[in-house]
Amino acid sequence: MVDEERPGAQQWVPDKADIAELAGAAAHCRGCELYRDATQVVFSAGPSSSGLMLVGEQPGDQEDQRGRPFVGPAGRLLAEALTAASIETTSVYLTNAVKHFRFERRGKARIHKTPDVGHITACMPWLEAELKTVRPAVVVCLGATAGRAVLGRTVRVGAERGTLLPGPEKLAPAQVLLTTHPSALLRLRSSKDRAPAFAQLVDDLVTARDAVRS
């Protein structure tokens, strides 16, 4: 039985489309209820032929307003980590498992709210289409939500991070690597904790970089 709130995105995903066509079609997606409150769909950024795809959780407040992924504080930290890993930020394909911002209002503020499994499932046809179109050599999953979307199972980032894993055949990536979402680093209160966490993120990105080049 189809959930009336979340029928899934498949009917809005065009066949044999390039990334620009997918992004255009996603603007009309009604696969789950998140489109009602979000400002706009936030699809992807970066070259559609990249060997390295980074998948995050969902857009944040700034991404929702500007229509591009990873343009807020977490995105700036990710850019720093990519630079530290000797990866050109413009060479990476960036996207999210869920394409609309899920939040709750507290006064005038919009506070991030983690998407649930139903949102991930509803949005999955977009990610599948992206993977089939870009065909990256390595997919880096930033956080547990992205890991669940790509691998199709619950993941434990702390236990599985930094290791190259085989990707599900239907999603096409040759290898998958789990790591921490940069937003988790922003929540660390002290620089004493943040510095080693950032170094570990950079190390994971280096592993992904080397796998793409090999």
Quote the pTM value: 0.94
Give the single-character DSSP code of 12. Answer: G
| Res. 2: pLDDT tops 60 | no
CA 20 to chain centroid: 17
- Here the CATH number for the domain that contains residue 119 is 3.40.470.10
Which of 89-93, 159-163, 165-169, 171-175 has the least mean pLDDT? 171-175
2: in domain: no
Q: What is the dihedral of CA 136, 48, 140, 185, to 10 degrees?
A: 170
For residue 214, what pLDDT band results from cuts at 50, 70 and 90? confident
* Mean pLDDT of the 33-59 span: 97
* Mean pLDDT of the 12-19 span: 96
100: in domain: yes
Per the model's pLDDT, the better-predicted residue between 50 and 191 turns out to be 50
Model confidence pLDDT, tens digit, residues 49-79: 999 999 999 999 999 999 999 999 999 999 9
Q: Rounded to the nearest 5°, which phi and psi values hold at 149?
A: -65, -45
Query: Which tokens sit at 137?
Result: 């050599």
36: in domain: yes
Nearest to 47 by CA among 95, 90, 81: 90
For residue 173, what pLDDT band results from cuts at 50, 70 and 90? low
Single-letter residue type at 162? G
**What are the distances in angstroms from CA 94 to CA 41, 44, 131?**
14, 5, 11
Model confidence pLDDT, tens digit, residues 99-125: 999 999 999 899 999 999 999 999 999
Q: What is the pLDDT of residue 210?
A: 97
Residue 86 CB partners (closer than 8 Å, separation 6+): 206, 209
1: in domain: no
Nearest to 126 by CA among 154, 159, 149, 156: 149
Q: Are 122 and 32 in contact (CB under 8 A)?
A: yes
Domain limits at 110?
Answer: 10-213
Number of domains in the chain: 1
148: in domain: yes
Percentage with pLDDT > 70 across the chain: 97
For residue 1, what pLDDT band results from cuts at 50, 70 and 90? very low
Q: State the Cα–Cα distance between residues 75 and 44, nearest whole angstrom.
A: 13
* Mean pLDDT of the 174-179 span: 94
For residue 168, what pLDDT band results from cuts at 50, 70 and 90? confident
Q: State the Cα–Cα distance between residues 203 and 197, nearest whole angstrom.
A: 10
| Res. 188: pLDDT tops 80 | yes
Q: What is the pLDDT of residue 171?
A: 67
3: in domain: no
> What pairing do the DSSP bridges indicate for beta strands 44-45 and 52-56?
unpaired
Q: What average pLDDT does the chain have?
A: 94
5: in domain: no
For residue 167, what pLDDT band results from cuts at 50, 70 and 90? confident
4: in domain: no
